[in-house]
Each structure stands twice: as C-alpha cells, then as structure tokens.
Structure 1
Amino acid sequence: MTDIDALVTGGTGFIGRWLLPELTAEGQRTAVLLRGSGNRLRELRSWVDAHGGRGDLVLGLSGDLAAPGLGLDAEDLAVARTARRMFHLGAAMSYGLAPEIAEEVNVQGSERVTALAASSPCLERLVLASGFQHRRSGRLSTNRYHDSKLDADARVRLLTQAQGIPLTTVHPGPTVGDSRTGETTQFWGWPDLVHALHRGRLPLVPGGRDHWFPLVAVDFLARFISRAPHLADTAGGQYWLLHADTPPLADLLAAVAGDLGVRAPRVHVPVPLAALGLRAGLSRWTGLPAEALVFVSNDRFPVADAQRIASALDLTEPDPIDLACTTARFLVAHDFQAPTPIHRP
C-alpha cells in the first residue's frame, strides 16, 4: 500500500489544478479522487509537470463524491486514510444546477469527505473550500451552486466540531486566472462579464457605484490553501480570501475595457433590475446569465485574518486591476475556451 501526504477532491477542477503543483513541488505525495478513465490521470500529471509541479507524485483514486463511501474500493480507501492533510475542493459547479445534484454532490459529498477524515488516523488537517457570500439578496435568481457550498460549510463545521477534526475553512471570492499569465480553466463568473464587455454587449454596469466583483487570483489562492495547514493557529480558522482593494465594478470594467480597446459601460442599474432583465431575455443577447450577478455585491468581508496569515506565509497579493486585465487578455486570446490539454505520451 502507498502512503500519501495529501488527498485532494476536485483535483481536476480549476482551483485543484493550481493546488497540485504547489503540493507536489514540496515533495508531497498527493492522491486525487477521480471519476473516469486513466486518461484523466495522465492528462492531469502532464498538466502538473507543465505548471511547476511533479506529476509523478500524483496518484489517482477511483471514486465519486456522490457515491456511498466516496465510491472507494478497499485498497484505495486504505490509501486515502493515510493522508496527513485532506483538501476538499470538489463540487458540482454550473449555472442552473439541479437541486438534487447540489445536495447529493456538494452537501452530502462534503459529509462523506468529513467521515473519511474522521476515520483517518494520521490526519492533521482538513481544509474546506467554501463560499464567500453569506449574505445576498433573495431577489436574485437562485445560485444553487453557491447556496449548496454554504450548506456544506455549515454541516462540515458541525461534524468536525463534534468529532474533533482540525478544520481550516477558506472562503474564496470569485476566482480568476493566474496573476502571472491570466491562464484559467474556468469560463463562468468573471469571464461572463468580460465576454459580454468584449463583444460590446454590456451596455450597463450591474449595481451602484459601491458594488464590486471581489477577485482572487487562482495561484495566490492555491498557495494559501497549500501552505495554511503548516501553521498551527490556522486550525479552526475561517479565511475570506479575496483581494480587498479590488475597485468598484464600474472602475474594474473601465480598466479592462481600456486594456482591450472596447467601450466601457457607464450607466448603473440596480442588481435586482439587471437580473430581472436578463431573466426576461436579455441574457440571450448579452450572453450573461442572471446567476452571474450573484457575485456582484456591495457587502464587505472580514479579510483581516486571511491577510495576517498570507503575510505570515510571505504571500503577496497581486494588483487587482492588473489581475483583471491579465485574465481578460488570456480569455480573449483563447476565444473564451479552454486551451487544448497537454497529454503525456
């Protein structure tokens, strides 16, 4: 049996792909819960190699968040239980997510990961990626993905407290591309706004002058998630991870529009009214789903603890305007589609 240092759910997803190079570059043997064929593992190892990690340290465990016992057979379960750290990033994520899938995968799947953590004798830390917006207007269209992440957060917190599992919770803001290259594998959320802007189909700014779309760079987020468990005082901590100096949405869109050479919207419209218009049919013209507006907010978030930990870990936040423009340039260069994956021969 192979002992591992870390277990990651959602390793083929957006944040997970940036987390794996961080973990394996430190020499951590990392198992990833995978659905599907061995081709996914080969592609993932190649991706990790190409992004500064060690693909040879990535192990695939056949499983499924929606299955009892995570779908692990006896051998893979034994391997999973040797992990010293577990990173739960996996979730079903899409607009229009069916409520039964949101419950089965995102909520119950999180409970199954917590049960695995409770049965793992070597476990030092469970890290949960949750949602950043605990308050939002009920007048917006339901975003079942985000709501289910918050439900999972509450259930995991209760279970870990009852069973004495050391938990670190990270609440990422809307996650965008790599701060150095703009690279992303996620094409919803911020990319929806950039796409509409680039096509000249974002005539209005959703929200008032104090509304914003708080960004976080995926590479910064991955480094924080990978390193935070090394600090003893992060056990039991909750960290809202977003770049707090992100400017208001109108200013952010103006900066991106200037960088791309397109016209920026200037007229503001209340978020509920914008959502209503999109649901009424404007989404077909703009290409912007009403659910994307859930990330537009005038709330402010308790980021001081995350900033303190980031400083202790010697992490520097990127400039949010540079980040937004860098990500937008990557999206445009790749026509808002994922680049062809690299395959290991």
Structure 2
Amino acid sequence: MNIFLTGGTGFIGRHLLSELASQHQVYVLVRQKSRLHAIVNQLPTDQQPNILPVIGDLTKPRLGLDDTSYKQMLATDLIIHAGGPMNIELSLSEAEQSFLYPAKSLVQLARDIHYAKGLKHFIHVVGFMSPYHEQNAMSDMDHLLDKEPPYEKMKFLADSYIRKSLHAMNIPLSTVNPSVVVGNSFSGKTEQLGGLSILIDAVRRNLMPLVPGGDDYWLPMVHIDHVASFIAKLAHTEGLSSNTYYLLDTKQASPSIRVLIQLIAKELQTAKPFGRVSLPLLKTILGMGVGKLLGIPTESMNFLVKSEFPVNTKLEIEQMSEMKFSIAPSTLPFIVSDLDYRLNHLGVNRQESFSQRRRTNLISLEKDMHGIPVIFLHGTFSGADVLLPIAGSLSDINTWLIDLPGFGRTPYHHEPSVIEGYVDSVTAMIIELNRPVILVGHSFGGLIAARVMQRQPSLIHQLIMLQPVLHPIKPKYKIQGVTKLILKYVKPAKLKRELLQSKNFIASSKYLEDYVHDVVRDLKSPRIRTTNAAVMSWLTQSKSIQLDPKRWDETKVNILWGHMDKAHHIPKSYEHLDITRIPYGHQFPIERPEQTAHWIRQVLKV
C-alpha cells in the first residue's frame, strides 16, 4: 500500500516510520531530505528503501508540492496527517498557518485521489482536548472555539474541517486523539520537550508547592511507542469505518495530578506539594505575566482535566491487535529522569552513533555491535556522555556507556545503602545479560565495578579501573546537606579553577571546558545535586569501600593511575596488581580520552 505521511520527522512520525516501512511504501512530506535521511539511516536496512522523501511544506498552498510530486501522490492509498508544531504558544496567524491551511490542502489532495482512484483511508492525529466526535462533528459548533487559545482553536478547527469534508466524500476517517505523549513504554526516552516536561521543570525549580486543581484533576498520558503502534494498526487494517480513538487510560486507572507531582518530586529529590490551588485562579495568575516570568505557559494548564474520555474504541483495537496501550507505572521514573536530563542539556546531542537503551534499571548508550560488551561506569560529577570521546576512539569495540542511578538519564535507586544500591543495580544488569562482560570503571565507577566483580566473578571477563576510588575520601564531603547546598551555586569559572589547582586536570583544554559546562548544567537538577552529595558523603566512610584485592584473580585486573592526583592514592594491598602510572590527575580519562582509549586497547582482552 502507498502511504502519504505528514510529520514524518516529528516526535510521533519518526516512531511511526519504523512501524509502517516493513509493510508499506511511505512517502514522507519534508522540507529538506537531510533530516529524514538521518532518521531513516537508523532503521533496519530492509526498511530503508520503502521510505521516500517528498519535498514540500505543510504551510504552503498545495503543500508546497511541485506538479510532478503532486501527480505522484495521486497514487496514494492512505493519508496519515501527523504534522504540525508542538508549540502551545503559537499566535493566531501562526496556528492558522500550521493547522487549518494544511487541513484544507490535504482535503483537496484527498478529493483528487478519491476522484482519480479512490482513497481507502485517512488518519488524522489531533489531540484528546478536541470537542469533536462522530455524534457532533456534522453540527455547527465551531463558534464554541472562539475563546480557546490559538493553538487549540486552529488545531480543532482543522479537525472539524477534515471531518466534514471527508464525510461528504464518504472517505473513511480515523481520528486519533493522543493525550499528552510521553516517553517510550520501557526505556522512557522522550525526544520532544513540551507537555510533561513543563510540569517536570516547574517541580524541579520548586514552583509547584501547590497542586493545580487538587485531587479531582489528572493529566492523561500515552507512551510514544503506543501511539505509533496504534496508528500503524489502523493503517494495516482494511475496512475500518470512520471513528474517533482516544489514546489514554481511564481516569480511575491514572494517577491524580497530586499523585503525579508527588512521584515527580520523589524522582527529582525535591519538595513535595503541601497544598492545592484553584486551577482557574492559577490560570489567571499565570496569564497576568507571571507565566512568562516563570516559564510556565498559561496554556499548559489546559491539559489538566477533570473529565473522563471514552476509550471503548481504543479497547476494540487493543483486543483486535492483542496489544495494550496503557501507561507503564514502572517506566514513569525513567521518563522523569530522561526529561530532567534533556532540560539540563537543551540543544546538545553528541551521541548520534549510539543507541539509548534501558538495561534492567540502567540507561545505556550502545554502539549496536557484536562482540563482548565493554561496559563503562563513570565517576561522580559525570555521566555516560563524558565518556563518549573515549568510546569514539574505540570505534571497533562493542562499548556500552552506562548512566549510573541518579546520574544522566537513569533514575535514582532509592535504596537505604547508597553504595549497595549502585552495586545491586549494575549486578542485576549483568545477571540479566547472562554472559561475560568487561567492566571499565572511572573513579567511583571503578569502585562499583570492582565490587560487582567480587560479587559475580564468573560474569566478569576483565576489570579495567581508571583512577578508582580505593579508600575513603576527604571528610569535608561527609555532611550531605552542606555539599548539596554548595553544589547549587557552583559557577563555571570557579569550578575550572578548582579542577586545575587540585590537579584533577593538568591544563586548560577543550575537554576541560566541555566538562565544566556539563557539570554546571547537570547541577541545575536537584536530582543530580542530591545524588552527587549522597555518593560523596558515603565515600567518606570506610564501609563503602569493602574491597578485598588479595582474593581477586589478578590476571583479570588492570589499573591505570594518574600519579599527579592529590586526593587519592593506591593502597599497598593493590600493589601486586597490574598498574600503569601516567603523569596526569584524577580526571585523566576525560582530559586525555584518546590516550586513555589507546591504553585500554592495549590491555583489552577481547
């Protein structure tokens, strides 16, 4: 079947492509081919030839298609309209150009296809707040949208226009109304900010001391992969009648807004709300300019609702496909952490050649290669991303970069013993893999790697430690609350100066600049500030180390040590192991990634 898809490079569209391309020829409307190519290149090679770009523009007359492309689209069997910006602050003219104008162009294309050969199906992705459904779509109620914000008004007018137009032509229309679209149902990965991230950002900045609306309000949500699978199921199914599908759970099966904010606060390690505020009052306050000042659009409050929505048509598709499209509660902490990380690093993406995956309860950046996994564990004030330059110099090695709990994109473990929680998390991942791995740990990550090897020696093929923590650190980090408060006010210039004075870094460089800015961005998050403070506090205690190197298989262990490190040393009980000393400080894997990768390659047993 030939499918014409709008929004193919958007949040929903890029997930939908992989669902459609295995069975259909998909023509994707794009302004430029390059953005689509970057998405297509990540798909299986057998799917890639089935995705073809069509140069055009939703906001232009006739979708910006030239005569040749327009005639080519007349062979379309199915139109899927998933295009349009996710920007609730659009002006009226911008919203009209983004939603109503494209609807009229697509209806004209549908009409031309239908008269030429017959259009089998039209799928329109709208939103759960649209007031239209099969029972009222033909009535004259568009005037009721006059008081709606521009974004919603034009999006819903487009819904109305398409419904009425296709009904007149007797073309089957499936209107898909996703609720607030959140991350993948297992990994939590959420590429698009907006929606839930507005709430998360408000909570992490302590701007939600009061619950908007109270316990009777809720935020309907749906996982992005569920949206894509649901639309694909509609596309694969022939003979469907026109219908509306709300992609959300029932109110009874969903957390109230109070419970949701409490969960977010727990994961972000910040204060829970202590009261409630009337939603109309909150909207009024935000609309008086406070919303712009705080970065909380008044329109974002419109997604909080009291009402319930009909889900019977969704349940019918679930039964037909033998799939479930419900929110996975166990994944919500991963969604919160992923969005928290993305808010810290807006506009930064340095991992194009790596795939983000969830391994048990850890997030991993992986190269999708064969061979024994070489698993990197980072230190404190770090995350998987800081080790990307090392992995880049090991391009032929199956490297996995782990975000340890509470760092990067991985939720905090919430175990009573901080260090044991890390050891448990990494051990659980390796046990689930059930095959030998190589562990490479830097600093605190080296300690965790060694503890894991002691617990599961048969599954550790090799242990490589880069400046590992092998003894309790200075007691100045003992009081967690003090450290957390200090971290809140860290400035780049001061951090850079301290790193050089302590010989963590030996000299100024691009890597030092990148690291400093990464650390300062991370410390915007109370989750990451709390995690660093907690780990540093526990590392002041001798019970956190619990290493017995005399019992290690020394043929498995290699240590790379920067002997200019002022704060750490190698205890005598480790001197029998293979140790290579180099003239650098504690952060040498970050300061000298190419040299570190070269040394790792020399000792690696793959």
- Give the TM-score of the pair, scaled to structure 1: 0.89
Q: If you compute each CA radius of gyration, which structure gives the higher value, 1 or 2?
A: 2
| Candidates 250, 254, 260, aligned match of 1:246 | 254
Please report the RMSD computed on the Cα atoms of aligned residues, expressed in angstroms.
2.4
Q: Could you list the runs of 4 or more consecutive aligned residues of structure 1 that deviate by over 6 angstroms after TM superposition?
A: none
The question of 1:216 aligning with 2:222 is answered: yes
User: For the Cα contact (< 8 Å) 2:206–2:271, is it kept in 1?
Assistant: yes
Report the Cα distance in structure 1 between the residues aligned to 2:40 and 2:33, rounded to whole angstroms: 11
Q: Is the 8 Å Cα contact of residues 77 and 121 (structure 2) preserved in structure 1?
A: yes
Correspondence list, 1:137-286, <5 A: 142-232=148-238, 234-244=240-250, 245-284=253-292, 286=294
Partner of 2:35: 40
Verify: 1:288 aligned to 2:296, yes or no. yes
8 Å Cα contact 2:227/2:247 also seen in 1: yes
| Superposition pairs of residues 50-199 of structure 1, within 5 angstroms | 54-120=47-113, 121=117, 123-134=119-130, 142-199=148-205
Shift of 1:67: 1.5
Inter-partner Cα distance in structure 1 for 2:86 and 2:55: 20
Amino acid paired to 1:241: L
* Worse overlay, 159-168 or 282-291: 282-291
Return the offset for 1:334.
2.8
Secondary structure (helix, strand or coil) at the match of 1:205 reads strand
> Does 2:352 match 1:342?
yes
Counterpart selection for 1:23 from 20, 33, 44: 20
Q: Which runs of 5+ in 2 are unaligned?
A: 132-143, 355-606
Contact between 1:7 and 1:86, CA under 8 Å: does it hold in 2? yes
Kindly indicate whether the alpha-carbon contact (under 8 Å) linking 2:187 and 2:331 is maintained by their aligned counterparts in 1: no
% identity of equivalent residues = 29
Cα contact 1:215–1:320 (8 A) shared by 2: no
Q: 8 Å contact 2:223–2:327 — kept in the other structure?
A: no
Return the offset for 1:311. Answer: 2.1
Which secondary structure does the structure 2 equivalent of 1:20 belong to? helix
How many Å separate the matches in 2 of 1:165 and 1:201? Answer: 48
The count of residues paired between Structure 1 and Structure 2 equals 333
- Which AA in structure 2 matches 1:190? L
Pair 233,260 (structure 1): closer, same or farther in 2 beyond 3 Å: farther
Give the 3-state SS of the residue equivalent to 1:335 in structure 2.
helix
CA distance in 2, matches of 1:86, 1:296: 31
* Structure 2 Cα separation of the partners of residues 248 and 233 of structure 1: 38
| Inter-partner Cα distance in structure 2 for 1:285 and 1:201 | 12
Trace 1:316-331 onto structure 2 (pairs within 5 A).
316-331=324-339
After TM superposition, give the deviation of residue 329 of structure 1 in Å: 1.3
Higher RCO (C-alpha under 8 Å, 6+ residues apart): 1
Provide the C-alpha distance between the structure 2 equivalents of 1:308 and 1:47, rounded to a whole number of angstroms: 32
Matched to 1:270, the amino acid is: S
2: CA distance between counterparts of 1:311 and 1:305? Answer: 10
- For the residues of structure 2 that align with 1:194 and 1:10, how far apart are their CA atoms? 26
Correspondence for 2:10: 13
* Cα drift, residue 81 of structure 1: 1.9
| Shift in Å, 1:321 | 3.0
Shift of 1:48: 4.1
Q: 5+ residue gaps in structure 1?
A: none
Task: Give yes or no for contact 1:22–1:53 (8 Å, CA) kept in 2.
Answer: no
Using the alignment, how far apart are the partners of 2:7 and 2:181 within structure 1? Answer: 15
Q: Give the Cα separation in 1 of the matches to 2:280 and 2:221.
A: 21
Q: Using structure 2 for the length normalisation, give the TM-score.
A: 0.52
